A and B are shown apart, each in its own frame.
Chain A
Amino acid sequence: MIKSETSSNLSARSLRLCLALACCLVAALGMPIAAAEASEREQVRTYLELARLDLTTIDVILADTELDLLEQEAVDDEELTELQIEHYRQLLAGYRSSLAGGLSELDGRQVPDFSDLRLHRDAQQALFQAADSLLAEYEQILGYTAALLQMSLSLENMAYYDENDLDATYQTISGAIQEALECLSAADVPTFLTYVNINLADSLTQLDEAVLYTLQAAYIDDPVRIYAASYRMDILMRHFDSLVVGIDQNIVDRQNKLVAEAEQIAQIAGGLSTWLDQNISLLASD
């Protein structure tokens, strides 16, 4: 009886003890989790806030009225001067440097272990790369524009010839054409202008040949060749005209695509900002 009573008491005590142990276990588990979650929350919030800060780089680029990537201002048809081109190139180089910095930050930053955050990191990296690619293309287009300007300057030298000296005249004109050709061959050509560049170089080579043909005709006072040279020049001018139409069309087409890309970048950047802001608010409200 005593034994049984003792057993009964022991059982009740054991049960209480087990409960206490369970509480102990829960407490043991709960405390590190609480501590870990508090730390994790902080990490996540920091990550989100830094990512939000990074996005301002994109916002600034898109809001730049000088670059006007979204073409919100009326397009100015005036040709760019060398100084303007240089200014834009510096602007683009600066922004590209900022984007590179942002990308580097993103690469080096520890991402809290959440799949959504990893997705965000990948998306933001893709966005920065896309923006950089867009600016790189604008930079390349400006570079090519500068090369075309240089080419025009070289061709202007053709006007300074001595009409009394046919040989010197040819040397002057041909020299100017060769300089222009060197500008074209040295230029970093945007891919959408590859054939334009080839055709332009081909046309200049033909111009060189046509000039030589004409001057030779003049040299020997050959009336038939002079008339044939005149028609040869007509063909060349026709070729130049179609080339210019082609360049204009190519540039307009590409420009539209670049604006569409900038709009897509703006849309993605807006989406990322919203997502980041929402999560920052969510964490703050918890």
Chain B
Amino acid sequence: MSRYCRHCGAELDEGQPFCHVCGQPVAAVQPVVKKSKKGLVIVVGAVVLVVLVSVLAGTLLKQALANRGQETSRTTRPTTTAATSKQTSQTSAKQLELIPFPQELMLGRSTTVACNVKVPEVIIPANYRSLDYVVYLQCWTDWGTSDVLVSVEIPGFSQKYEQKIAVSRLETEISIRPPLLPDAASQLNSSKEAQIVLSVRDLTSDTLVLQESRPVKLYSRYDMQWIDANGTPYYENILAWVTPEAEEIRTLLRLAADSANELTEGALNAIVGYQSVPGFSDEQVTYVQVISMMHALSAKLNVKYLMAPFSATSTELQRVATPAQVIQSAGGLCAETAVTIASAIQATDMHAVLIILPGHMQVAVETWRGSGAYFLIETTALDAVLEGNFDAVVDYDMDTAAWNQYLSGDGMIAIDCDLAGQLGILAID
């Protein structure tokens, strides 16, 4: 007897448990064909059971589908009986399985911080405050962002400096110049080797990105390098030795007032700078003050010129005493007496220019503010001033042509003390 699916009407083969067209079970309908009371009861019971199972199946199905969403493509399929497995493989797709995603394709999954560091090879204490950096750091990450803590110290010379910065793949630049320890520079009486201790810690991952010590040579506070190994001149650094605020310069000026009084027999008894004084021309006021400074340095402070070799063309370090030391030690080289007198001139708000010539240094003082005329001071002529040979101390006769001729000589350099501020050079004392 042919059988037909009661759902779709398709002809069914003998023994086929499911309709091959609509998939509905065939067995469930068979009892209806051969129904009996007892059977009906059972069928009714079975229908109730089917309803219950369907509800349960629906719940399970929802759960199964929900789980599939959570479990990914690798979730296992519910097992079926051997009788049904053939049927499900025909009606349902194979389970979706994707190739696992390679983690290494995720940019910024872990952030790595990298750094570039530049440090100077030498530090001149006199110029420390105008130094661009002790550590120049470039920091960046591969892709993500991170907070890093940068720490810089020159043990025994500087304080420990710490700075927290946020870094990203864009390069972050910082220049660090840690503050000096109190009296660190003033205690550097000779040059020494030191270490710049640097560390960079990634605060986000709490890992050390960089920790190293870079050697650095700390010059003595009196060391002057006129020319570096590449032949680049740094004559302007001598301006750090022009110290108009030093106590010893104030002493010199007080004594210079006494000298002026003596030399002018009371006509000029003060150091007044560019201020007119009755009975004196402007140039004479300047001239007398400069002679008085030289006189005080020689006669009252007993400073002697020390005739030691001096070269502004050497790449070697040269020890240059500060004006305070010149006065305390009562002696100085040409460069040292020159910066001492230049300091005294600048302290009175007069205008001094250092004249560097091969193997020697002198000072030019402007005869009056903005006059454009100068006296040339030979600051080594300390004995001549005692002897009253003032012409050997101050050349007051140089006009523009003479100056042009003088300064156009080989190796002549003029360094205006008024430019120290513009050049970022600060006085040692």
Once the chains are docked, how many angstroms separate the CA of A74 from the CA of B412?
A: 48
B186 within 8 A of A: no
Q: 1/0 contact trace for B11-30 toward A, CB 8 Å?
A: 00000011000011101101
Residues B46 and A34 in contact, CB atoms below 8 Å apart: no
B69 within 8 A of A: yes
Interface residue from A20, A32, A126, A235 paired with B61 (Cβ < 8 Å): A32
Once the chains are docked, how many angstroms separate the CA of A232 from the CA of B416?
A: 9
Residues B18 and A23 in contact, CB atoms below 8 Å apart: yes
CB neighbours of A234 from chain B (8 A): 233
A248 within 8 A of B: no
Closest to A191 in B: B170
Interface residue from A123, A191, A206, A253 paired with B116 (Cβ < 8 Å): A253
A88 within 8 A of B: no
Residues A228 and B91 in contact, CB atoms below 8 Å apart: no
Once the chains are docked, how many angstroms separate the CA of A192 from the CA of B93?
A: 56
Once the chains are docked, how many angstroms separate the CA of A13 from the CA of B403?
A: 133
Residues B18 and A27 in contact, CB atoms below 8 Å apart: yes
CB neighbours of B57 from chain A (8 A): 25, 28-29
Closest to B95 in A: A37
A280 to chain B minimum Cβ distance, whole angstroms, is: 10
B272 within 8 A of A: no
Once the chains are docked, how many angstroms separate the CA of A243 from the CA of B24?
A: 85
Once the chains are docked, how many angstroms separate the CA of A29 from the CA of B416?
A: 97
Whether A34 touches B353, Cβ cut-off 8 Å, given contacts A26-B80, A238-B232, is no
B141 to chain A minimum Cβ distance, whole angstroms, is: 11
Pick from A14, A22, A30, A126 the residue with the most CB of B within 10 Å: A30
Once the chains are docked, how many angstroms separate the CA of A126 from the CA of B111?
A: 13
Residues B64 and A123 in contact, CB atoms below 8 Å apart: no
A-B contact number at CB 8 A: 225
B50 within 8 A of A: yes
Interface residue from B54, B171, B415 paired with A254 (Cβ < 8 Å): B171
Whether A120 touches B108, Cβ cut-off 8 Å, given contacts A33-B92, A34-B91, A228-B415, is no
A49 within 8 A of B: no
* Interface hit among A61-69, A108-116, A164-172, A173-181: A108-116
Whether A268 touches B170, Cβ cut-off 8 Å, given contacts A17-B46, A224-B364, is no
Q: 1/0 contact trace for A233-253 toward B, CB 8 Å?
A: 011001000000000000001
B337 to chain A minimum Cβ distance, whole angstroms, is: 19
The 6 nearest A-B residue pairs measured at CB: A34-B92, A20-B27, A222-B372, A192-B171, A223-B403, A220-B372
**Chain B residues at the A interface, C-beta cutoff of 8 Å:** 17-18, 23-25, 27-28, 30-31, 38-39, 42, 46, 49-50, 53-54, 57-58, 60-61, 64-65, 68-70, 72-73, 78, 80-81, 83-84, 87-88, 91-108, 116, 136, 138, 140, 142-143, 169-173, 175, 232-233, 235-236, 353, 355, 364, 366, 370-372, 374, 400, 403-404, 407, 412-416, 419, 422-423
30 A-B residue pairings within 8 Å (CB atoms): A17-B46, A20-B17, A21-B28, A26-B88, A29-B78, A30-B80, A33-B65, A113-B68, A114-B96, A123-B106, A126-B143, A127-B107, A191-B171, A195-B136, A195-B175, A213-B419, A220-B370, A223-B400, A224-B407, A224-B414, A224-B416, A225-B353, A227-B407, A228-B416, A231-B236, A232-B423, A235-B423, A257-B171, A283-B96, A286-B94
**Chain A residues at the B interface, C-beta cutoff of 8 Å:** 6, 10, 13-14, 16-17, 19-34, 36-38, 40-41, 44, 113-117, 119-120, 122-123, 126-127, 130, 133, 137, 190-192, 194-195, 206, 209-210, 213, 217, 220-225, 227-228, 230-232, 234-235, 238, 253-254, 257, 261, 264-265, 268, 271-272, 275, 278-279, 282-283, 286
